Chain A
Amino acid sequence: MSSQDAVVQKQLDNISIDDAVLVRRCQQGDSSALTRLIVKYQDRIYNTILKICGNPDDAAELTQETFVKVIEHMDSFRGSSTFYTWMFRIAVNLSFNHCRRRVKIATVSLDDSGSSEFGSAKAQLGAWLADERVADPAFLAENREVIHILTQCLARLDDDHRVAVVLRDIEGMSYSEIAEALEVELGTVKSRLSRARAQLREVLETALQ
């Protein structure tokens, strides 16, 4: 984060302003409100997109594109959904389009994780999934190799399943927010999440064998 971003973030920490107020001020041409919205959400948007598309460079570009689209269409935002889910809908759609353009992410091989450097990570992850309670999940998730394996496993899910599990388990959205962001029924969210978790479990077990 740049020094300018840090200053703005500090201001945001001190002054909590509702999204709706910021959006209204943005619509009135307040550039500082726009800056606050960007700084507030840029990491969450980037993180979500990165988990969906799997590539940091693509994620940065898509994040930038997301905010540009958000700002361009700010005037057309009428508040029928929350700004948060509206913005994530744009991010997810851009990520989907990007995924369809490039070579299918699912073709990403897990062979890289078969090397010796991933050995310990695999062992730790396997023990964790075997309910051996060998490590704190937060400590385990700080292991770069573990993160790499998880990211690659996520990349092998179907697009709809991957997005659902990312929005719920990583971004922490509620079911209704996911339904808004993906413009699907609540029941669809439930079934997608269920299938996504089951599929991810299978992929992980395969990767750790």
Chain B
Amino acid sequence: MTRSGKPEIDELLSAYLDGQLSDRQHTEVKRLLRNDKEVAERLNQLGQQKQLLGAMPIETAPVGMLDAIQASLERQYILQRYPHTGRSAAGARQLFTRRLLTAAAMLIIPAGILALVVYMIMSPATPTTPTAKVEPSGPILTANLPKQGPLPRDRMANDPAADTAFSPMNFTLIFKTPEPILVDSLLKKAIFNHSLFNATVPNLWSYTITTPPNSLIELMQDLRAAWPKCQGTELVAFGRTVHSRVEVDRITPDQIVQLLQQPNAVSALAMAKNLSGFNAVVAGVPSYGMTRTAACEEWFAENPEMPVRPDLAAPTKPAPAKPAEGPRATLHIVIEPQ
């Protein structure tokens, strides 16, 4: 490197060209230039280079720069006005909530479906479909009640009892008595003893009691005393339509208990039909001191296995059936003075 190429000399020469030296430095550089041709030549080179760069034409900005800047500013404004909502705190919370709900739904829905499947498999069979299955509950009709499977739809449509599958049992018990006041008194006493005031709607010579069947069964124990005071008793079992109505003449307290022990209105209505026929037969059997009617003969032909003495058909008394639970039963008791 020549003397003029030394960095410190170049820095002085560069500053000298730009007029950035102090007076003392300026004087020293001038003296150096007079005495050193290499330094003078170096200054000349740097000066030419500076002059050349300074002579380069100014390149003008592309046409439409102003419009481009304004358009860019508008974009920036829009982006700032509608910032990245997905990253904002509110957006993040909303996103988190949605994800949480989605995760919960993904867990709950399969678990619910699984629970439903397990319940359907493991739960005891309940008469969720309108079946007319009659379960014998007493010694009298054990072997004779028709065993019916689930009713097909077309059969249900024609069966007057089918519509009572889910309806509560509804009976009317009629006391035909020459001593109505006494029977009425017994009835009131029984209602009082079993605390059925709130469940009873009294009327002239009639009482409508709506209560669970087991309460009516207990009531029937106290009402047994009314039977000897009556010339006749009749029970009418109702379905939901006028067609599903069965009248049982000469009904006994035990038969009413048996009816009330049925699991549902369908069974009760079916049993009432059988009791109706049975009581009619019993009334006509000679051994009972009565005469068989033509209707009795016809009934026996249709029910050949029907025992004449139901109690004898069951030598050992079975355990009392569990009282029916479920919907309330309505017992309408009417006193008919004779």
> Taking A141-B56, A175-B20 as contacts, is the C-beta distance between A129 and B48 under 8 angstroms?
yes
| Complex contacts, B45 vs chain A, CB 8 Å | 129, 131, 201
Contact with B along A187-208 (1 / 0, CB 8 A): 0001101110110110010000
Output the least CB separation between A160 and chain B (Å).
Answer: 15
| Complex contacts, A45 vs chain B, CB 8 Å | 61
At the interface, yes or no: B23 with Cβ under 8 Å from chain A? no
Contact with B along A23-55 (1 / 0, CB 8 A): 000000000000100110011111100110000
- Interchain pairs with CB closer than 8 A, number: 127
From B46, B54, B56, contact of A201 by CB (8 A) = B46
| Complex contacts, B73 vs chain A, CB 8 Å | 68, 71
At the interface, yes or no: A137 with Cβ under 8 Å from chain B? yes
At the interface, yes or no: B242 with Cβ under 8 Å from chain A? no
Output the least CB separation between A125 and chain B (Å).
Answer: 8
User: Are B65's CB and A198's CB within 8 A?
Assistant: no
User: Are B64's CB and A131's CB within 8 A?
Assistant: no
User: Which of B49, B64, B67 has the most CB atoms of chain A within a 10 A radius of its CB?
Assistant: B49
Name which residue of chain A comes closest to B62, CB basis: A60
User: Are B14's CB and A204's CB within 8 A?
Assistant: no
15 example contacts (A-B, Cβ-Cβ < 8 A) are as follows: A38-B65, A39-B66, A44-B58, A46-B62, A47-B58, A64-B69, A68-B76, A129-B49, A131-B44, A141-B55, A150-B52, A150-B53, A168-B18, A198-B7, A204-B49
3 smallest beta-carbon distances between A and B, as pairs: A141-B55, A194-B11, A46-B61
Interface residues in chain A, defined as those with a beta carbon under 8 Å from any beta carbon in chain B: 1-2, 4-5, 8, 35, 38-39, 42-47, 50-51, 56, 59-60, 63-65, 67-68, 71-72, 128-129, 131, 137-138, 140-142, 147, 150, 165, 168-170, 172, 175, 190-191, 193-195, 197-198, 200-201, 204
Interface residues in chain B, defined as those with a beta carbon under 8 Å from any beta carbon in chain A: 5, 7, 10-11, 13-15, 18, 20, 41, 44-46, 48-69, 72-73, 76
